[in-house]
Each structure stands twice: as structure tokens, then as C-alpha cells.
Amino acid sequence: MKPIPESFFKKDTIKISKDLLGKYIIHKNLIGKIVETEAYLKDDPASHSFKGLTKRNSAMFGPPGYSYIYFTYGMYHCLNITTNKEGIGEAVLIRSIEPVKGINQMKKNRKLNSIKNLTNGPAKLTIALNLNINHNNINFLNPNSPIKIMQPNKKEKFEIIETERIGISKGRELPHRFYIKDNLFVSKK
């Protein structure tokens, strides 16, 4: 495992969404491999940034390589990674991870005994990783950050599937959801 360079997050958001697949999210002793993402762009009616800067979405308009964690449906949190360029308002939603390390702790956090359904959804994985609104707008690139993203020493080979995004009412037609083909922890085929 090695760090990811800052330049990784300064690219086109679609490309980053695909390149994040196979990378690792680390929070304390908990580690998960990213297996499913969604891109949220500027001028995208489904994006929180669509109507401009607010207090809630301000991380999206900040510099790339930061967390954007928001509270939704009265009880859940979802994790994004900011991308592109400061002031643009783009991010990548992490939709599912494959549990890698600290699986017993993740089960406790989720109050679940099985590995099935442990982290295969955007709110499920934040519960498993014990992330909440206090982790909003944190720099992933800083080695001292409580949450980090790392890449494996050897790049893993896999096929990427592109489909429409899940759980949105606008911008449904855009093929901005990406996942690792045949991975068991993807939220939905």
C-alpha cells in the first residue's frame, strides 16, 4: 500500500470515479476496497452542487482530495471524495466497499453478524467505517488525517461496468455509476 499523489484528484471527475475502483479507504484500523462509485458533476441536476454553494455542500466546492460527507434521510451519512478543481463543485460518491481489515469491528458497528450486506451501500459503509458528519471536509492526502485513501503496490486488473446511477430522480439517464465486474460487494447489478 502506498499514498496517492495529489494530482490524482485534479483530473476529470468521470476518470477519477473509474480510477478510484480498487483503491483503499482507511479509517483507524478499518480498511475497505472501493468497488462501486458514482460521479456527480457541475451542471448535473442530480448533484448537490447543482443549485450552487451552500453551507451543506461547501466541501464539494473546495479543493480536490477532500471528504464530502452529508446527512440524509434523517439518519444516514454518505461519503464522497472531492475532485477536479476548487470552485467547480464536483465529487465522487463511494457506493460500496469490500471489507478488507477490521471486519469484526465493522460487524459490531453495523450490528450485523454476516459479511453479506455489511458494506454494499453508501450509508452501510459509513456505518461500518464509523464515519459521520464530523469527518466532513477532511483532506485525504494529509498523512495525519484520520481517514486516508491508499493504492495497492500492484495495480489490480478488473473490468469496469458503467450504468445509470441509483436513487436519484433527476439525471437518471447519465451513465455515471461505475463498479468492478463480478465483485460480490457491489450494491446492485
Partner DNA sequence: TTAATGATGGGCT
Partner DNA sequence: GCCCATCATTAAA
Give contact residues for DNA (rule: CB under 7 A): 38, 40, 46-49, 51, 54-57, 60, 68, 71-76, 78, 80, 91, 93, 110, 112, 117, 121-125, 165-170, 187
Q: Least distance to DNA from the beta carbon of 169, Å?
A: 4
Taking the C-alpha atoms of residue 80 and residue 178, their distance in angstroms, rounded to an integer, is: 14
Q: Least distance to DNA from the beta carbon of 8, Å?
A: 18
Output 55 or 155, the one with its CB closest to DNA.
55
Cα 66–Cα 77–Cα 114 angle in degrees, nearest 5: 110
Output 91 or 154, the one with its CB closest to DNA.
91
**Alpha helices (H) in the chain, listed in sequence order:** 13-19, 103-110, 122-128
Q: Cell 434523517 maps to which residue?
A: 74
Q: Least distance to DNA from the beta carbon of 110, Å?
A: 6
Output 5 or 15, the one with its CB closest to DNA.
15
Q: Least distance to DNA from the beta carbon of 153, Å?
A: 29
Taking the C-alpha atoms of residue 86 and residue 58, their distance in angstroms, rounded to an integer, is: 10
Residue type, 107: K
List Cβ neighbours of 148 (8 Å cut-off, separation of 6 or more). Answer: 3, 25, 26, 140
Output 13 or 151, the one with its CB closest to DNA.
13
Output 144 or 173, the one with its CB closest to DNA.
173
Residue type, 100: V
Q: Least distance to DNA from the beta carbon of 101, Å?
A: 20
**Three-state SS at 7:** helix
8 Å CB contact between 100 and 26? no
